[in-house]
Structure 1
Amino acid sequence: FKTEKLDLSTNIADKKVEGVTADDKDNSGLVAAAFASLHNIDTVNESKPSPKSVKFNRLAQIDKQISNAADLNTLLVVAENPVVSRRHALKMVSVLSEWTNSNKVKLADFEKDTRFLKLCRILSRSSTHAIGSLTMAEDLSTVLGITGDDEAARLITNLTLPQMIKVMKALQQKGRRSTPLLRALSHNITNQTEVIDLKKSADLLYAMASLNFPDPVLLDRICNDVISCLPSNEDKSAVVNSITVSLGLLKYRHEPVLSAIADWLQQHIQLCRATDIASAVVTMATVDYLPPTQSTSALVETALSLKEEEMSKSSSWLDLVFALLTLNKADRHHLESTLQPDFIDKLLSAGEIPIPARRKLMMIDAYLSLSHPGSLRLADHISVGVPVLHTKDKSLYVQSIMDTFKSFVSADAFLKKECNSGMGFLYDAEFAVDSKCHPVPLEKAKNNKSVFRIAVLGLDYHDMTRKTTAPLGVNQLYTRLLELKGYKVLQIPYTEFNPKDKLVSRVQYIESKLKLIISNQGQS
C-alpha cells in the first residue's frame, strides 16, 4: 500500500483542513477544557492551598515580621518560628548588627539569648549536618564571619576585650584565617584601654601564631602589657611558658620582653619547670638574642645543667641541645648525647624521625666533626634522603641574586649554584676570589690559602626575625658551620638587597660586601 510522506518543512497551520471527524471533535474538546482550566488555577488554589504554597506564605510572613520589627524582642520572637531559614537568620543578624552599630541595642542585651544562639546555630550549620551546641565565642565568630566584612567590623567595635579574645580563640580552634575579621579584631584589641593580662596575652599570641597572623601593632601592644604584668605574677610559670613559646613561633624579636621574661624566670627559678627554662632558651635561639643581663647568664647556666631525663620527651631534649648550639653555648657532652644510638632509638620509638629533627641532628654531627675531630658520629641512615629544598619565594629571591652574579662570574668553572652543604641545609652559591676580588676558578681554589672561598647565603623574609630585623639563629648557625669548613660567608638579606633595583646598584652592593669580607680577613 501507499503512504504519504510527512512534510516536516511546512507548518501545519499553513495547510488547509478540509474536514473534521468525530475524533477530531473529541480532541478539540479536551484541548478547550485544558485551556479553560488554566483560567481556574487561582480559584482552585484559593479553595484548597497546596503544601508548597502554604510554606511560601509562611516564609513571606516571616520576611514581613523581620522588616516590621521595631525592637529587640519583636525581632527575636521571629526566631522562635519553626521554619526559620538560613536566609532569615542572616537577615536578622544583619539587623542586629545595624542596631548595635547605631547604639539602638547593646550586644550584652542579646548575646546570651537562646533565640540569638539559635540563629547562630542556623548560620553555622553545614549542608549535611547541624553543628552541635556552640559556645558563645564560637557563635560570635560564626556570626562575625558570615555577616560580611563591613558588618563584622561594625559588630566587633561593640565587643568587650574578653569577648574579642574569645572570638580570636574560636577562630584559631576552627582554623579559620579570615584576614578582614582578624584585622578588625587586632585593631580594636590594640585600641582597648584595658591592660591585657598574662592569660589573655598568652591566648592571643597562641592564636596569632596558629593562624600565622603576626600583626605588628598588636604584637607590640601585647609585649608591652606582658612587661607591665610580669612583676605581679608570683606563681604562674605555665602562662609565661606559653607566651615564650608563641614568641618563638612568631619569630618575634622584642628584646625588652625577652629580657623581662629572662628576669622573671631567674627570679622564680624554684617555681619553674625544666620545660619553662628550655622553652626560653629555644625561643632566644630562634631569634638569636640573649639579653645582656646577669639573669640571662644565670638562666643559660641553669639550662646547661638540665638533664635529658628532665625533659617531657626526647625530641624536647634535642630541641634544647640544638638551641644551645645555635647560641654557641652547648658543651661537647650535650651534643654527643643526641648522637648516642640509644637516644636515636628513643626518637625512633615515636615513629619516623621528622625531617626538621633529622636536619638538627645532621648539623650537630657536622659541628662536632669540624670542631672536635674524633667525636661520636651520627648513624648514616639518619641523614640519608633528607630533602633540602627552597620554598618558591626563596627560590625567586635567590634567582635574582644569581642573575646579579652573572656580572662577576658567569662561567660554571667559577660559580657553583644550589650547593648542598651535606650538613642539613643548602647554601645558594660558591665561588672564589683573590685579594683583589678577581674571580678564581673553583678547581684552582682548592687547597689554595691565598684565595678566598665564598659561600653565599640569601636571606629572604622568612629567614629574618620580626620587630628587630636580624637573621634567625639557625641562619647564623649555617654561617658558623660554613666558616668552620673554610668559607667566608656572604649573607645577602632582603632588607639590603632589592631585586627590583637597577643591576648597577645590585652589583655595587655585592662588590662592597665582598670587599668588606676580604678586608676583615686581612685585618685578622
Structure 2
Amino acid sequence: MQAVDVVSCEMLKLSGQVIWRLGSRAAVRKYSGPSATVFKTEKLDLSTNTSDKRIEQLTGDDKDNSGLVAAAFASLQDIDTPIVKKPSPKSAKTSRLAHLDGLISQATDLSTLLVVAENPVVSRRHALKMVSILSEWTSSNKVKLTDFEKDPRFLKLCRILARSTTSQTIGSLTMAEDLSTVLGITGDDEAARLITNLTLPQMIKVMKALQNKGRRSTPLLRALSHNITNQAEIIDLKKSADLLYAMAALNFPDPVLLDRICNDVIECLPSNEDKSAVVNSITTSLGLLKYRHEPVLSAITDWLHQHVAQCRATDIASAVVTLATVDYLPPSDSAQGLIQTALSLKEEEMTKSSSWLDLVFSLLILNKAKKTQLESTLQPEFIDKLLSAGEIPIPSRRKLMMIDAFLHLASPGSPRLPEDISVGVPVVYTKEKSFYVQSIMDTFKSFVSAEAFLKKDCNSGMGFLYDAEFAVDAKCHPVPLDKAENNKSVFRIAVLGLDYHDMARKSAVPLGINQLHTRLLELKGFKVLQIPYTEFSPKDKLVTRVQYIEKRLKEIVNKSGQT
C-alpha cells in the first residue's frame, strides 16, 4: 500500500471494534462483518492532488475494505486468545498428591497399595493412611503380617512416619520396631488403629514414649488402655510400674486399666523376693494418681512388712506418703508394723530434707506422728536445710503451717514456725472449685443471708481455706456470729466443700489432707460440715440442695448433743 500524503491512516482497537480513520471528517458506514464499523471519508475538493484520488478509490472499494476488516478481525482474535500458562510447581505437586490420594483409596489388595509407596512424593500423611489400611486388613485377616512386614516399601512408610535419623539398613528393620516408634510420636485417630497389632511389651513401650514426650493423646491412650486391659498375658511388676508411672505423668487415670494393673500386682507380689525398688515405684504412682485401691494397698503393706530387711528408708517413707494421700491404713498387723518402722526412721536416712517433711506430714495425716518428729520440722536448723535448696515451695510451706498449727492447738508451748515462712503463702481456689463453692453459698442464702450470721471465704491461717462459717442453736436456728464465739450452747459450723479433686479415686472418700483440715478446724472448736460433690450437685434443684443441707446440719447437731 502506498503512503498517504494528506491524511494519516491508522487502525485503533476500541471496545472490541475496528475503526478506520481517514482525514478529519468522516461518515459512518456499516459493513456486513460482525461487530465491525468502518469510517469512510467524504470526497474532498483537492483535485490538484493525485494522492487524494487514490485515497478516495481506496475507501470507496468495498471489496478491498472487506479484506482489511477481515485481516483486522484476525489480528483481534489473536490478541484476545488467552495464553495457556504452564502449571506452577506448587500446583503440580498438589495435583500429584491428590493423585496419590486417589490411588490409595482405590487400592483393593496388598500389591496395588504398596505400589503407591514407590512414588517419590509420598508424604507423611499418605504413609500414615497406608499403614492404617494395612492394619485394618491385618485385623480382618485380609492379609497376613508376614506378607509385608519385611517389604522394603512398607519399611519406607515406617521410616517416613518415624523420621528416623539412624543409619540402620532396611534389612535390619522390623515392623514391631518401626510401629513402636511410629506410635510413640503420633497421636492421631488413625495411629490408634495400629495398636491392635502390637504385643503387650510394645504397647507399654508406646505408653512410655508418650510419657517421655509429654504427649497426652486421648485417642491413642484410650486405644492403649482398652487393648492392654484385654490382654490375656499377666502384667508383671516391672510393666505395672512403667504403666502406672506413665499414667500418673500423663494424668490419665483410666479406672478399668488401673483395676487390671492393681489385680495383677496383687498376683505378682508374692513371687517378688528382693526387688523393693519396683514396689516403691508402684506405690508412689498410686499415690500420685490418688487411687485408693484398698486390696492392692493392703498387699503392698504386707509385702513391705515381710521384706522390711530388704527395704530402704525411702521405700517405707513412700508407702506412708501414699497411704496418707488416700487416707487409708489397712486394718492389719502389717500396717501397724509398717507405721512402727516409719516412726523409727531418722531425718539422716532421708535423701532430702523435703522427704523428711513429707514423711512427718503424712504421719500427722494418719494421726501417728510423734511430737518430737513434728517439732523437728520447725527447728531453725531444719528450715535452713530446706532453704539451702532454694526458696521453699508453696506446698511445703503449707505443710509447715499445718504442722505448726497442730502443735500450737494440741500442745501449747511447742516451738513455733518463723513468721516469715507463712507470710505471702497464697491460698486460692481453682476455677472449678470456686464454681462448686459458689453453688453451696447460693444454697445457704435460704438459711442465712445477713453478714452477721454468715462469713464466707474464710482463711484459716493454717495454710488452707474453708468456705464459710456460721452458728446455730440446738434447733438449727441461726445465731449471730458475735454471740456464738464463747457460747457453749451454740454450735459453730465450718463448711468444707469437697469437689472432684478433693476426693480419692476408686473409693470416693475425702483425701487425707482434707481430713487433716477437718481435724484442725475441730481443734479450733468448730463442727465441720463436709459437702462432697458425690452428695451435692450444683445442677440439683434448689429445694433438693436445701433439704440436703438441713439434713446434714441436724446430723451434726444431734451427734454433738449426744457426746
Q: Which residue of 19, 22, 39 maps to 2:21?
A: 19
Distance change >3 Å, CA 52–CA 457, structure 1 → 2: closer
Q: Which residue of 363, 382, 400 maps to 2:402?
A: 363
Q: Given residue 291 of structure 2, which amino acid in structure 1 is its aligned partner?
A: Y
Distance change >3 Å, CA 117–CA 237, structure 1 → 2: farther
Distance (Å, rounded) in 1 between the aligned partners of 2:485 and 2:411: 23
| Structure-to-structure mapping, 1:210-229, within 5 angstroms | 210-229=249-268
Q: Which residue of 2 aligns with 1:514?
A: 553
Distance (Å, rounded) in 1 between the aligned partners of 2:522 and 2:217: 44
Residues 415-467 of structure 1, C-alpha deviations (whole Å, 9 max, x = no match): 00000000000000001111221111111112222221111001111111111
Residues 392-435 of structure 1, C-alpha deviations (whole Å, 9 max, x = no match): 11111111111111111110001000000000000000011112
SS in 1 for 2:15: helix
SS in 2 for 1:98: helix
1:145 aligns with 2:187: yes
After superposing the two structures, state which structure 1 stretch, 196-205 or 296-305, moved more. 196-205
TM-score (norm: length of structure 1): 0.86
Distance change >3 Å, CA 51–CA 186, structure 1 → 2: closer
Q: Which residue of 235, 242, 258 maps to 2:274?
A: 235
1:94 aligns with 2:129: no
Instruction: Name the Cα RMSD after superposition.
Output: 3.3
Contact 2:180 2:203 in 1 (8 A): no
Q: Which residue of 1 aligns with 2:413?
A: 374
Distance (Å, rounded) in 2 between the aligned partners of 1:311 and 1:109: 56
Contact 1:177 1:211 in 2 (8 A): yes
SS in 2 for 1:145: coil
Identify unmatched segments of 5+ residues in structure 1. Answer: 1-10
Q: Given residue 448 of structure 1, which amino acid in structure 2 is its aligned partner?
A: N
Q: Which residue of 2 aligns with 1:448?
A: 487
Distance change >3 Å, CA 511–CA 87, structure 1 → 2: closer
1:423 aligns with 2:454: no
Q: Which residue of 1 aligns with 2:475?
A: 436
Q: Which residue of 2 aligns with 1:404?
A: 443
Distance (Å, rounded) in 2 between the aligned partners of 1:270 and 1:402: 53
Q: Given residue 88 of structure 1, which amino acid in structure 2 is its aligned partner?
A: H
Q: Which residue of 92, 104, 114 maps to 2:142?
A: 104
Deviation at 1:505, TM superposition (A): 2.2
Deviation at 1:90, TM superposition (A): 3.0
Contact 1:111 1:136 in 2 (8 A): no
1:122 aligns with 2:160: yes
Distance (Å, rounded) in 1 between the aligned partners of 2:331 and 2:473: 38
**Aligned sequence identity (%):** 76
| Structure-to-structure mapping, 1:118-517, within 5 angstroms | 118-123=156-161, 136=178, 138-141=180-183, 145-146=187-188, 149=189, 151-517=190-556
Deviation at 1:58, TM superposition (A): 7.1
Deviation at 1:154, TM superposition (A): 3.8
Residues 40-65 of structure 1, C-alpha deviations (whole Å, 9 max, x = no match): x7xxx8xxx99889978976886687
Distance change >3 Å, CA 203–CA 77, structure 1 → 2: farther
Distance (Å, rounded) in 1 between the aligned partners of 2:528 and 2:209: 45
Deviation at 1:315, TM superposition (A): 1.1
| Structure-to-structure mapping, 1:31-50, within 5 angstroms | 38=83
Distance change >3 Å, CA 371–CA 81, structure 1 → 2: same
Distance (Å, rounded) in 1 between the aligned partners of 2:151 and 2:480: 78
Distance change >3 Å, CA 281–CA 14, structure 1 → 2: same
Aligned positions, number: 498
Distance change >3 Å, CA 111–CA 487, structure 1 → 2: farther
Distance (Å, rounded) in 1 between the aligned partners of 2:219 and 2:92: 41
TM-score (norm: length of structure 2): 0.80
Distance (Å, rounded) in 2 between the aligned partners of 1:106 and 1:342: 68
Distance change >3 Å, CA 444–CA 61, structure 1 → 2: closer
Contact 1:112 1:136 in 2 (8 A): no
SS in 1 for 2:19: coil
Distance (Å, rounded) in 2 between the aligned partners of 1:368 and 1:432: 26
Q: Given residue 17 of structure 1, which amino acid in structure 2 is its aligned partner?
A: I
Contact 2:161 2:182 in 1 (8 A): no
Q: 1 or 2 for the larger relative contact order (CA 8 Å, sep ≥6)?
A: 1
Q: Given residue 140 of structure 1, which amino acid in structure 2 is its aligned partner?
A: V
Distance (Å, rounded) in 2 between the aligned partners of 1:387 and 1:169: 35
Contact 1:336 1:376 in 2 (8 A): yes
SS in 2 for 1:456: strand
After superposing the two structures, state which structure 1 stretch, 392-401 or 157-166, moved more. 157-166
Q: Which residue of 2 aligns with 1:4?
A: none
Q: Given residue 84 of structure 1, which amino acid in structure 2 is its aligned partner?
A: V
Identify unmatched segments of 5+ residues in structure 2. Answer: 1-12, 24-69, 169-176
Q: Given residue 282 of structure 2, which amino acid in structure 1 is its aligned partner?
A: I
After superposing the two structures, state which structure 1 stretch, 101-110 or 297-306, moved more. 101-110
Deviation at 1:89, TM superposition (A): 1.6
Q: Given residue 433 of structure 1, which amino acid in structure 2 is its aligned partner?
A: V
Contact 1:252 1:287 in 2 (8 A): yes
Q: Given residue 435 of structure 2, which amino acid in structure 1 is its aligned partner?
A: L
